[in-house]
Amino acid sequence: MTHMQKKINSVTQKIAYAAAQVQRNADQIQLLAVSKTKPVNLIKQAYHEGLRHFGENYVQESVEKIKKINDDSDFKEPIYWYFIGPLQSNKTRPVAEHFDWVQSVERLKIAQRLNQQRPPELPQLNICLQVNISGEASKSGTTLSQVIELASQVSDLPRLKLRGIMAIPEKTENIQRLEKQFDELHNIYQELKNIYPEVDTLSMGMSGDLESAIKCGSTMVRIGTDIFGSRD
Ligand SMILES: *Cc1c(COP(=O)(O)O)cnc(C)c1O
């Protein structure tokens, strides 16, 4: 077994175990491999192990990698690219042109620009609203009180498709505190789902907290370190 195979097996086993603990089907939890700062050859190894969904944080770095991969005949099947990093309004165009998803939308202006810049020949851009669940001023994301309004504005933009919410919880060793935040996110997700039937994505859980996230209803975990190693 290759090193990459071992890493990915261990992550998928963790997901399966966490799902089984709460009688959930592991098929309902999408694994997003977060490849930020990692080179194309590592993405290729993960691709060869069957991964097709990749998350990136930095516009220039990711667009360079995506172009290389599009030109590389080793990648035969489509890959789905998710932008999950902070996005400034002057950098939206390359994201609208090269990604399938943006999970870090936190204000209307960014959504409007992505909507305008999404090329007409491509399908709608899938959107998750990033929610600042811990209320920390230093964290990106829209507040709990604003998320429903932002969702309503985004759902009116024709080139975007509202799929759900994404969040990075506060870093804490206190599992109860963490799971309380995940539960709150799950509640907003349900609320949104009741209004917008196409909403199907609750993106929460990273290498350090995927078990709690899955317990609280996550449908997508974003895993970097446990697949590709630490980023120093
Ligand atoms: C880097 C990053 C991840 C992956 O984090 P790991 O702890 O390495 O698994 C997930 N989500 C977002 C938004 C990130 O920026």
pLDDT in tens, 212-225: 999 999 999 999 99
Instruction: Determine if ligand 1 sits within 6 Å of the CB of residue 140.
Output: no
CA of 120 to the centre of ligand 1 (A): 30
Mean pLDDT of the chain: 96
d(CA 144, CA 98): 29
* pLDDT at residue number 139: 81
Pocket-testing residue among 11, 34, 53, 201, ligand 1, by greatest number of atoms within 8 A of Cβ = 34
What CATH number does residue 219 fall under?
Answer: 3.20.20.10
Residues 6+ apart with CB under 8 A from 88: none
- Residue with more model confidence, 113 or 143: 113
Question: pTM of the prediction?
Answer: 0.97
d(CA 181, CA 201): 17
Per the structure, the complete domain to which residue 92 belongs is given by 3-228
* pLDDT at residue number 133: 87
* pLDDT at residue number 140: 86
Tokens (6 digits) for 9: 């097996």
pLDDT digits over 51-101, tens only?
A: 999 999 999 999 999 999 999 999 999 999 999 999 999 999 999 999 999
Main-chain phi, psi angles of 159, to 5 degrees: -90, 0
How many domains in the chain? Answer: 1
* pLDDT at residue number 14: 98
136 band by pLDDT with thresholds 50, 70 and 90: confident
